[in-house]
Amino acid sequence: MKNNFILAFTIVLFSQISFSQQNKLKLNLDKSGETYIKASARMQLWARYYDTNPNSTINGEITKNVMDFSVRRFRMSISSQVTPKLYVAAVFGGNNINQQTEKNFTLKIIDLYAVYQFSKAFGIGFGESGWEGLSRWNVRSTKSLMTLDAPGFNLLTVNKNDDHARSLGVWAKGKIGKIDYRIALKNPVQYGVNAEEGVVNYAINRPRKKVSGYFKYEFLEPENNTSAYSDKIGTYLGKKRVFNIGIGFMNQPKMTSQLINNVEKFYDFKNWAIDAFYDTPLNKEKGTAITTYLGYFNTDFGPNYIRNVGANDVTTGGTSFNGSGNHFPMIGTGNTLFFQFGYLLSKDKNNHQFQPNIAIQYSNYKALKDNMIVYNLGVNYYINGHSNKLTLNYENRPVFQNINNNLKVYERKGMLVLQYQIEIN
């Protein structure tokens, strides 16, 4: 498996040097190009330094900071517009190949689905996929992100009762005038923990179906909704004028539970969100553009549910409420505001561009006494659009401690990441 990964790495790296244009791995099945088969391979490489949460360890040794190298994501995909109405897609890969996971990493199926588009207004899909509702960011293109990473808080059940935020199910999608919609019925993965007194967590029971939807009004240019990710672009780099307002929901009955006086009480998973996305060129000759996003999320897992998540962490232990490494209370019952803004600067003589950007998550979670605020400051350097780019990002997170029976911010920690993204398609 390691040899296969090294081979894939080499192919992607050296092919990208030769292929500066897109659609080199696309084969048209008819003269018009309406039907086709295409492939792509992409990776995101991280060089990182971060201050760890109190008393985090590596192999039992207290580690105050970490400097490491990893593969944040690796993707290989193949898709085909088999007929004008039938679309199929498969995505393979994995996340977080680091010093902890390197020996055990295996490629896995991430997406595997088919969609039949009866008309522009109605299509139906089936399979393992990220086709879901709630917001723009629940189903996102990780290739075209403006910030270093997509917001993790709205991958509400990631790797708990789903797999890489994907699950098996059916969905309907389409465009009716300027309204773009998707409605999904998903089969959650069987997962749960033994109920504890006064602690809300995933229940061990028969998983009820997860229902979700997202509806957006496209004021300007329409977005492509062929695949689960083609209309969830992070930034168009001035190639389109897009302004959307969307509203969505996600529900699952009896998903969580806790013991109250030794009797198990179940809670429904209930969420809704409203968001807006705006992306427009400012000066086409210079290539300048702006991208911005604002979303409000109301999430309910049950009373005081909270979950700490740390992307690509390599430590264990930790004595703060956050836990180890770079974990922080990312997901929970409460309300969240999320904001992004980026400005694409003028092209240089080689058509390279810089894009400074900012992202802020402001969450008022019921379990926490203080608000949970995380911000990211970054800059992208586009060598060949999203297919060949560098990103430098600084993230600042709060560390919570139990102070007088209240979870309050005790200190703040930082993480600096240099990412290189490269793709052949």
Model confidence pLDDT, tens digit, residues 240-282: 999 999 999 999 999 999 999 999 999 999 999 999 999 999 9
Q: How many CA atoms lie less than 13 Å away from 276 in the CB half-sphere? A: 7
266: Cβ–Cβ under 8 A, 6 or more apart, which residues? 203, 205, 254, 256, 257
For the stretch 88-119, pLDDT in tens is 999 999 999 999 999 999 899 999 999 999 99
The span from the CA of 325 to the CA of 58, in Å, is 10
Q: How many CA atoms lie less than 13 Å away from 118 in the CB half-sphere? A: 7
Q: Measured on CA atoms in the order 228, 231, 234, 235, is the torsion positive or negative?
A: positive
pLDDT averaged over the chain?
A: 94
The span from the CA of 90 to the CA of 128, in Å, is 9
The span from the CA of 184 to the CA of 122, in Å, is 13
For the stretch 274-315, pLDDT in tens is 999 999 999 999 999 999 999 999 999 999 999 999 999 999
304: region left, alpha or beta (phi > 0 left; psi from -120 to 50 alpha): left
pLDDT of residue 3: 43
Is pLDDT above 60 for 2?
Answer: no
Q: Delimit the domains of the chain by residue range.
A: 2-424
Q: Measured on CA atoms in the order 118, 142, 159, 112, is the torsion positive or negative?
A: positive
The span from the CA of 295 to the CA of 314, in Å, is 31
Q: Measured on CA atoms in the order 164, 330, 262, 319, is the torsion positive or negative?
A: positive
- Considering the entire predicted model, what is its pTM? 0.92
Token couple for 13: 């790296």
Q: Please give the DSSP secondary-structure letter assigned to residue 144.
A: G
Q: What is the residue whose two structure tokens read 């270093």?
A: 148
Answer for the pair 286, 327: CB distance below 8 angstroms, yes or no. Answer: no
Q: Please give the DSSP secondary-structure letter assigned to residue 191.
A: -
3-state SS, residue 51: strand
- The class that CATH gives domain 2-424 is mainly beta
Q: Hey, how many other C-beta atoms are within 10 angstroms of the C-beta on 91?
A: 24
pLDDT of residue 18: 39
Q: Please give the DSSP secondary-structure letter assigned to residue 384.
A: B
Identify the CA nearest to 325 among candidates 44, 96, 157, 160.
96
- Which ranges of 163-224 would DSSP assign to H, the alpha helix? none
Across 34-156, the runs of DSSP E, i.e. the strands, are 36-51, 56-58, 61-62, 65-81, 86-97, 108-119, 122-129
pLDDT of residue 22: 63
